[in-house]
Amino acid sequence: MKIINPQTLGEFIIEKQSEFQYSSGELSRLLSAIKLASKVVNQEVNKAGLVDIIGAMGNKNVQGEEQQKLDVFANEVFIAALNNREVVCGIASEENKDFIEVKAGKNANESKYVVLIDPLDGSSNIDVNVNVGTIFSIYRRVTSEGTPVELKDFLQPGNKQVAAGYVVYGSSTMIVYTTGYGVNGFTLDPALGVYYLSHPDIKIPEKGNIYSINEGNYIKFPLGIKKYIKYCQEEEGERPYTSRYIGSLVADFHRNMLKGGIYLYPSYSHAPKGKLRLLYECNPMAFLAEQAGGSASDGFTRILDLNPIELHQRSPFICGSKEMVIKVEEFMKNANE
């Protein structure tokens, strides 16, 4: 079968390196480390059911959620890959209580970047063979180079991100990322172990006809969200919209970005501050959405303008086609007047 576009991810990163204002090769090596780790995790994901890698560990992570074996494996792989390349001064993972100061190598503190990562989003779906993913976010440190990394290096608003992306492990494995110059997707050729450019310059349709939300929590949702769901279900014009909810953020977001739609994970009675993590999930997905022409909000405020105060801070999250996000904000505003 002929490859649609023969350009590899490695070639693309090098070609676009000059667009990055701090270009020194570090960011390229950092993205290459993520690329390598994703291949290792992909191999294990594809073995699920054949080897003892699925199921729970019997431990809970810092979020109070039961850790899956693949959560732990993916976390270790990405941390090791980033450590070994000596291109970051700090790493924060959804699976770890505190950030990790990278001390390996002679010039560890000289590195300019910190990485925040959700190593395996949607891992509870592994046992039933549903798509899962990895989400990553990259910032330039705010403390002085040559000094130990500090918490404030990680607690930056999303509008300070220099790169973000995700890996989706599914019928095909893809890396989708941005450095602030649009969004591009690369599909892994499993025979060669190489990512090829398959989705150049991705744009989210301004309108969509898909809404993605766990309607099982409907009775607990804010009034504005309830009214928006009813709006989606009304027979008028292009509505009713289609309800599609996988339960893996990466999979739901990826579908909606390509086809047009909106993803909603609002606050509700059991999670008054929302459930998704601002730094590991909301910010990187919001950056990608905006770079692709979409929008992301907590219902009232642009996600990328929120100022984090905690490493594992949660936030309501509404993201996707711009016109759909605007409509949700209208419902939220009117419900609170």
- What six digits make up the tokens of 270? 């059991």
The reply, when asked if residue 227 is annotated as ligand binding, is: no
The reply, when asked if residue 31 is annotated as ligand binding, is: no
Cα 109 from Cα 308, distance rounded (Å): 24
Give one DSSP letter per residue of 153-188, joined into a string: GT---GGGEEEEEEEEESSSEEEEEESSS--EEEEE
The reply, when asked if residue 280 is annotated as ligand binding, is: no
The reply, when asked if residue 294 is annotated as ligand binding, is: no
The reply, when asked if residue 305 is annotated as ligand binding, is: no
Cα 65 from Cα 63, distance rounded (Å): 5
- Number of neighbours of residue 99 by Cβ within 10 angstroms: 20
The reply, when asked if residue 281 is annotated as ligand binding, is: yes
The phi and psi torsions of 265 (rounded to 5 degrees) equal -135, 85
The reply, when asked if residue 124 is annotated as ligand binding, is: yes
Beta bridge partners of 239: none
The beta-carbon contacts of 150-156 under 8 Å, at least 24 apart in sequence, are: 151/99, 151/311, 153/89, 153/90, 153/114, 154/90, 154/92, 154/99, 154/114, 154/116, 154/279, 154/311, 155/279, 155/307, 155/308, 155/309, 155/310, 155/311, 156/308
DSSP assignment, residue 281?
I
The phi and psi torsions of 184 (rounded to 5 degrees) equal -130, 145
The reply, when asked if residue 245 is annotated as ligand binding, is: yes
Cα 117 from Cα 2, distance rounded (Å): 34
The reply, when asked if residue 169 is annotated as ligand binding, is: no
What is the CB-side half-sphere exposure of residue 41 using CA atoms within 13 A? 37
Nearest Cα residue to 305 out of 157, 161, 179: 157
The reply, when asked if residue 122 is annotated as ligand binding, is: yes
Residues that constitute the known binding site for Mg(2+): 94, 118, 120-121, 281
Residues that constitute the known binding site: 94, 118, 120-124, 214, 245, 263-265, 275, 281
Residues that constitute the known binding site for substrate: 121-124, 214, 245, 263-265, 275
